[in-house]
Amino acid sequence: MNHLYFSLRMLRRDIRAGELRVLLMALVVAVASVTSVGFFTDRIQQALRLQANELLAADLVVTADHPIPEGYLAQARRAKLQSVMLFQFRTMVFAGNHNSLAEIKVAGNGYPLRGKVKITDAPLMLDREVQAVPAPGTLWVEEDLLRRLELNVGATLEVGARRFVIAHIITYEPDRSGGFFSIAPRILMHSDDLPGTGLIQEGSRVHYQLLVAGTPEQVRRFQDVIGTKLQRGERIIDVTDSRQEVKEALNRSNQFLGLAALVSVMLAGVAVAMASRRHVSRHLDNCAIMRCVGARQADITRVYTYEMLWLGLIAVLTGCVVGYLAHAVLIELLAVLFVTKLPAATLWPVVYGLFTGMVSLLGFAVPPLLHLQNVPTLRVLRRELGMLRAPTLSVYGIAIVCMVLLLLVQARDLRLGLFVLGGLVATIALLVGMALLMVRLLRNFTNGAGAAWRFGVANVARRARGSVIQVLAFGVGIMALMLLTLVRSELLVGWQQRLPPDTPNRFIINMQKDQLAGMQQFFSRQNLAVPQTYPMVRGRLTAINDQAVSADNYEDARTKRLVEREFNLSWAEDLQADNKLVAGKWWHKSARYDAQFSIEEDIAGHMGVKVGDTLTYDIAGETLRAHVTSVRKVQWDSFKANFFVLVPPGILDAYPASYITSFYLPDVNLPMLAQLVRQFPNFTVVDISAIMDKIRMIVQRVTDAVEYVFLFTLAAGVMVLYAAIQASHDERVKESAIIRTLGAGRRQLISGLVAEFFLIGMLAGVIAALAASLISFVVADRVLQIPFTFNPWIWLWGLLGGGVGVGLAGFLGTRGILNRPPLQTLRKAEM
Amino acid sequence: MTDSFVLSIEKLCKQVPSTDADDATPLTILQDISCNIRRSDTVAIIGPSGSGKSTLLGLMAGLDNASSGKIWIEGVDLFALSEDERARLRGAKLGFVFQSFQLLPNLTALENVMLPLEIGGRKDAQEVAASVLARVGLQKRLRHYPRQLSGGEQQRVAIARAFAPSPSLLLADEPTGNLDQHTGENVIELLFELHREQGATLILVTHDDNLAQRCQRRLELINGMLQSTG
């Protein structure tokens, strides 16, 4: 016989008979969930690869948190490299009564050295590429800024002490494409205009860059020379470095979205296993008859395996199409955080989808199929022969191994993979244990109840194994639903509400000492409370316990950055209300001029510093060495000015300081900001609420994306529900026929069925509420760091929603059996 | 044994392990059965319930293994063959009709009849199946599923399936057992007609005396032993 052809015909017949629908749909869900994430990351990776040489707008960049030494520029010129200086900083810009925070990039002629800038003349118009910077006296701004300030191209914008004409809208900067999102709209300015704005003063936070480009040999030589001269706070970035950061962020998102997608694959695997078991048990007779009419064992194995492979192929292709369509939503949600324009996807996600689909199919569907070849031919005469045995763990060993492999591949990190695996196994064990316990306990709840209830309870308890699987599957599905709705909004609201209404919403930085009195008078004149100001002195940590500190001493990327950059040191006489001592003692008022440090808990932990250690700072070329006498916990989101390192008053008097303040500004007083900055052009006013909005938007987008991927989990949960209902369908049909023969009415049967599914739904609801509460506790406590509030509604919703929802679904799924005459059923069962 | 015997049985015994915990002696179902059946004969196996009729039929088809003794089908020693070789032999030489029809519920009448032809690798499976179904009077039921057919129609599909590959030996296990008298008579008529047309040997197990009388030979089984041959 032609096995391939025969199996294809068999597949067609089985699909037509509705036998393989659940199997097919579960596989489609599994493949769609992994490919949607796959297509998304693939396209972004493509974009990054294509733009690699543009990511820097140069071949090499030297960055610094202080002005680039003249020697570097001279060296670049000697090496005959093209070069250009960049300055980037944030400041407030004004147009009439409107103002906004903006990110300003100041560039000289020649920028960009690699790639092109894209500009346009009006919103939504086609943009064009230019290799230029704005002419002096003009600016190119992002469209977002025009919208915020209600301006058009050609309007005037105040930046610092100068006025500029907006010449174009900027739509693309090559060295920004990989640079994530910005918290404020961007402006490009010519470097000749910078001194006139008066924006850069002592202590201003500016990011300095020297861009160079040339032949690879020239660039390499320059890199070799400068590499030996680098000072603290200076860094060389080449193309691979700049890609690395974006790549890491992308890998992380891929890891987590991918792992979320794998939860659907695992659930779908359960549905596949259940559906294929049913498929096999319905095909026992077929196999016996096929053997009876001449098929060999090998024919049976081959035909059924080929049938599964055909099915897998159809499912994978359909899943890839669904995944491709679905990934557009992920792009919509997340791509703005990465890059703007995306190239077409490659075929790799399809390969991965094929791999996942086939692994789930072969791992979960084939083990029961192998039983078919052993069906004795005599079954045609004696039906009790060759029944399917209860599944054992060893049968699904291959599937479990495959799933673990998929998990590790997706995690791309052995530790993370094993961590997730451990968590998953522990969670499943806990939930299975709970579900089993509840199913067992149920048996005690039959006294005094009606017959229907008793029948339903007995059914749940009797089919304990099936009930536990159903409870778990529904549980995970309902949990996904709860996280999508109740928990999420509750957490976000909780996070926002904990800030009192008068929480500071504006910061002013870059204030100089001689401007403080003027600023305070300004506030008094406006009848606003005069805000408290804090001094900031920039210093660099050079030694801990007299051992030189270097970024190389630390593994963690964040600590490396903390060590490399300049710190803001400040002084205070008293401990601020939003600070709490966790170790050591706060200094006494008499400690003025007595050098000592109080350090923030988190940074102390990262750098391994404790009370009694000695820290040495380099401040403007001078050394400050002292002991740490206390460690503080800081409530950062009080939005008051806070510092990692504090000293008693008097110690830093001799050093150049700038001042910072935070205050609450009601919206009605917004125009006063424009006056303030006109009076003090070097002040940078930061709109915290705008930043908060931006952060909220990002948090929202990321949670949306994760939840979106969880929608596949929900779909897979529905597949398990459907497969579970189908799995017990034949048995139910027979049972109900017998019960009806014994005199039970239609109504009694319906009540029994509904009671059974209602119970399963309620148990699932309890499991879901428990899991959702656990997750929200972890998110509240660990991620958002807000007090966890117990939500009784989750439990009520879980119990009632689960009961009613699953009860209804179960009833709809099984009501067909009630319409069948019992005699027909019984005669069929005899056959 | 001559070529004129399509089926020969020699000292056939079938025992099954006892399910009685106190008495481990195996249960004897068939004991020392020997007989020869000529080509194109019609044979009825009769006897009371539990006498081993269906077991004997199953053994003749190679669906089960004997405890001892031999069966030859057209000179081939059935129990010397592997399970797969027996399956192939069944596909080539045997047809089977069951009391409970044993149609595949998810296949149409036509597809059910095509099944043995497809397994046998016949390219003309569909045409042959359609013509046999037409022969049993079901030309208008080709696309119907078993559940859409009456009992008599289902058994006619089963008969068509058994005759479609033109077997030399046709085994029927109480083919009218699930049918009313009138329908049963029609089905029997059909079986004998096809037997005449194709010249296949027909062996059937029955409780029905009238049916047994129509056969050229009768083998009566009592307590697993062959009592008489007529």
Q: Where are the domains of chain B?
A: 5-229
Q: What angle do CA A505, A506, A511 make, to 5 degrees?
A: 160
Residues 4-43 of chain A with CB under 8 A from chain B are 6, 9, 13-14, 16-17, 19
CA distance A364 to A720: 13
Using the Cβ of A278 and the Cβ atoms of chain B, whether some distance falls under 8 Å is answered with no
Residue type, A654: A
Position A181 pLDDT exceeds 70: no
Residues of B in contact with A285 (CB under 8 A): 102, 104
CA distance A655 to A535: 11
Which domain range does residue A752 map to?
Answer: 432-500+687-831
Contact flag A294-B58 (C-beta cutoff 8 Å): no
The lowest-confidence range among A65-69, A252-256, A377-381, B40-44 is A252-256
Using the Cβ of B151 and the Cβ atoms of chain A, whether some distance falls under 8 Å is answered with no
Contact flag B121-A381 (C-beta cutoff 8 Å): no
Phi, psi angle pair for B205, to nearest 5°: -95, 130
Q: Which of B57, B104, B165 sits opposite A289 (nearest CB)?
A: B104
CB pairs under 8 A between A and B: 84
Using the Cβ of B106 and the Cβ atoms of chain A, whether some distance falls under 8 Å is answered with yes
Residues 792-831 of chain A with CB under 8 A from chain B are 830-831
Q: How many domains does chain A have?
A: 4
CA distance A663 to A532: 8
Position A710 pLDDT exceeds 80: no
Which pLDDT value is given to residue A155?
93
How do residues A613-631 score in pLDDT, each as one tens digit? 999 998 878 888 999 999 9
Whether residues A580 and A719 fall in one domain: no
Residues of A in contact with B96 (CB under 8 A): 292-293, 380
Which pLDDT value is given to residue A279?
85
Q: A362: Cβ–Cβ under 8 A, 6 or more apart, which residues?
A: A308, A312, A398, A402
Q: B19: Cβ–Cβ under 8 A, 6 or more apart, which residues?
A: none
> Mutate which of A285, A381, A729 to test chain B, going by most B C-beta atoms within 10 A?
A381
Residue whose C-alpha is closest to residue A91's, from A677, A696, A516, A538:
A677
Residues of A in contact with B45 (CB under 8 A): none
A189 vs A423 pLDDT, higher one: A189
A353 vs A732 pLDDT, higher one: A353
Whether residues A803 and A702 fall in one domain: yes
Position B56 pLDDT exceeds 60: yes
Which pLDDT value is given to residue A178?
40
Using the Cβ of B126 and the Cβ atoms of chain A, whether some distance falls under 8 Å is answered with no
Whether residues A708 and A830 fall in one domain: yes
Whether residues A236 and A250 fall in one domain: no
Contact flag B115-A2 (C-beta cutoff 8 Å): no
Mind telling me how many Å the CA of A277 is from chain B's nearest CA? Answer: 17
Using the Cβ of B163 and the Cβ atoms of chain A, whether some distance falls under 8 Å is answered with no
Phi, psi angle pair for A83, to nearest 5°: -150, 155
Which pLDDT value is given to residue A559?
76
Residues of A in contact with B83 (CB under 8 A): 296-297, 377
Mind telling me how many Å the CA of A434 is from chain B's nearest CA? Answer: 40
Q: Which of B92, B96, B119 sits opposite A295 (nearest CB)?
A: B119
Helix (H) or strand (E) holding A519, with range, is helix A516-525
Q: A726: Cβ–Cβ under 8 A, 6 or more apart, which residues?
A: A22, A274, A275, A278, A813
Q: Nearest-CA residue of chain A relative to B115?
A: A290
Whether residues A130 and A40 fall in one domain: no
Which pLDDT value is given to residue A739?
64
The lowest-confidence range among A261-275, A736-750, B22-36, B156-170 is A736-750
Residues of B in contact with A298 (CB under 8 A): 84
Structure tokens at A115: 């790639």
Strand partners, A598: A630, A646
Question: A273 to each of A396, A602, A764, how far by Cα in Å?
Answer: 9, 48, 20
Strand partners, A544: A547, A615
Burial of A331 (0-12, 13-18, 19+ CB in 10 A): middle
Residues of A in contact with B102 (CB under 8 A): 285, 289, 292, 380, 831
Mind telling me how many Å the CA of B64 is from chain A's nearest CA? Answer: 6
Strand partners, A94: A99, A158
Position A412 pLDDT exceeds 80: no
Burial of A800 (0-12, 13-18, 19+ CB in 10 A): middle
**Coil/strand/helix, residue B77:** strand
Which pLDDT value is given to residue A200?
80
Question: Is residue A522 domain-resident?
Answer: no
Radius of gyration, CA atoms only, chain A: 34
Using the Cβ of B177 and the Cβ atoms of chain A, whether some distance falls under 8 Å is answered with no
How do residues B189-204 score in pLDDT, each as one tens digit? 888 998 888 889 999 9
Mean pLDDT of the region B112-138 = 88
Which pLDDT value is given to residue A741?
61
CA distance A62 to A212: 8
Give the domain-ending residue among A244, A268, A288. Answer: A244
Q: How confident is the model at residue A179 (pLDDT cuts 50, 70, 90)?
A: very low
Whether residues A473 and A562 fall in one domain: no
What share of chain A in percent tops pLDDT 90?
13
Q: Nearest-CA residue of chain B relative to A373?
A: B84
> Mutate which of B101, B119, B128, B154 to test chain A, going by most A C-beta atoms within 10 A?
B119
Mind telling me how many Å the CA of B81 is from chain A's nearest CA? Answer: 12
Contact flag A296-B88 (C-beta cutoff 8 Å): yes
Question: A562 to each of A68, A206, B152, how far by Cα in Å?
Answer: 20, 17, 87
Contact flag B58-A296 (C-beta cutoff 8 Å): no
Mind telling me how many Å the CA of A365 is from chain B's nearest CA? Answer: 20
Q: How confident is the model at residue A394 (pLDDT cuts 50, 70, 90)?
A: low
Residues of A in contact with B111 (CB under 8 A): 13
> Mutate which of B101, B104, B112, B147 to test chain A, going by most A C-beta atoms within 10 A?
B104
Question: Is residue A198 domain-resident?
Answer: yes
Which pLDDT value is given to residue A180?
43
Structure tokens at A580: 């709490």
Average pLDDT, chain A: 80
Cβ(A683)–Cβ(A522) below 8 Å:
no
Whether residues A541 and A659 fall in one domain: yes
Contact flag B63-A830 (C-beta cutoff 8 Å): no
Q: A696: Cβ–Cβ under 8 A, 6 or more apart, which residues?
A: A492, A496
Whether residues A352 and A206 fall in one domain: no
Q: How confident is the model at residue A340 (pLDDT cuts 50, 70, 90)?
A: low
Using the Cβ of A173 and the Cβ atoms of chain B, whether some distance falls under 8 Å is answered with no
| Strand spans (E) along A701-773 | none
Mean pLDDT of the region A178-206 = 77
Whether residues A370 and A309 fall in one domain: yes
Residue whose C-alpha is closest to residue A764's, from A706, A718, A815:
A718
Contact flag A292-B107 (C-beta cutoff 8 Å): no
Cβ(A538)–Cβ(A568) below 8 Å:
yes
Q: Which of A2, A282, A298 sits opposite B121 (nearest CB)?
A: A2
What share of chain A in percent tops pLDDT 70?
83
Give the domain-ending residue among A664, A698, A717. Answer: A664
Q: How confident is the model at residue A177 (pLDDT cuts 50, 70, 90)?
A: very low
Using the Cβ of A228 and the Cβ atoms of chain B, whether some distance falls under 8 Å is answered with no
Contact flag A381-B107 (C-beta cutoff 8 Å): no
Position B222 pLDDT exceeds 70: yes
How do residues A75-128 score in pLDDT, each as one tens digit? 999 888 999 999 988 888 888 878 888 889 999 998 888 888 889 988 767 788
Cβ(B36)–Cβ(B210) below 8 Å:
no
B72 vs B101 pLDDT, higher one: B72
CA distance A464 to A307: 32
The lowest-confidence range among A320-329, A571-580, A726-735, A779-788 is A779-788
Residues of A in contact with B99 (CB under 8 A): none
| CATH 3.40.50.300 is right for the domain spanning B5-229 | yes
Edge-first strand listing for the sheet containing B42-46: B94-97, B169-173, B201-205, B42-46, B217-222, B225-229
Which pLDDT value is given to residue A392?
63
Using the Cβ of B115 and the Cβ atoms of chain A, whether some distance falls under 8 Å is answered with yes
Question: Is residue A25 domain-resident?
Answer: yes
Contact flag A831-B100 (C-beta cutoff 8 Å): yes
Contact flag A295-B91 (C-beta cutoff 8 Å): yes
Contact flag B118-A377 (C-beta cutoff 8 Å): no
State the angle between helix axes of A414-442 and A239-292 in degrees (0 to 180), rounded to the nearest 10. 40
Using the Cβ of B123 and the Cβ atoms of chain A, whether some distance falls under 8 Å is answered with no
Whether residues A614 and A706 fall in one domain: no
**Coil/strand/helix, residue A94:** strand
Residue whose C-alpha is closest to residue A415's, from A255, A556, A257:
A255
Mean pLDDT of the region A31-42 = 87
Which pLDDT value is given to residue A470?
78
Contact flag B102-A285 (C-beta cutoff 8 Å): yes
Helices (H), A293-347: 297-330, 336-338
Q: What angle do CA A521, A526, A530 make, to 5 degrees?
A: 55
The lowest-confidence range among A163-172, A481-490, A504-513, B87-96 is A481-490
Cβ(A749)–Cβ(A739) below 8 Å:
yes
Residues of A in contact with B58 (CB under 8 A): 378, 381
The lowest-confidence range among A36-45, A405-414, B41-50 is A405-414
Whether residues A73 and A163 fall in one domain: yes
Which pLDDT value is given to residue B139?
93
Mind telling me how many Å the CA of A736 is from chain B's nearest CA? Answer: 19
Whether residues A263 and A408 fall in one domain: yes
Residues of B in contact with A6 (CB under 8 A): 118-119
Which pLDDT value is given to residue A815?
74
Contact flag A378-B64 (C-beta cutoff 8 Å): yes
Residues of B in contact with A17 (CB under 8 A): 105-106
Using the Cβ of B104 and the Cβ atoms of chain A, whether some distance falls under 8 Å is answered with yes
Q: Are strands A138-141 and A186-190 parallel, antiparallel or unpaired?
A: antiparallel
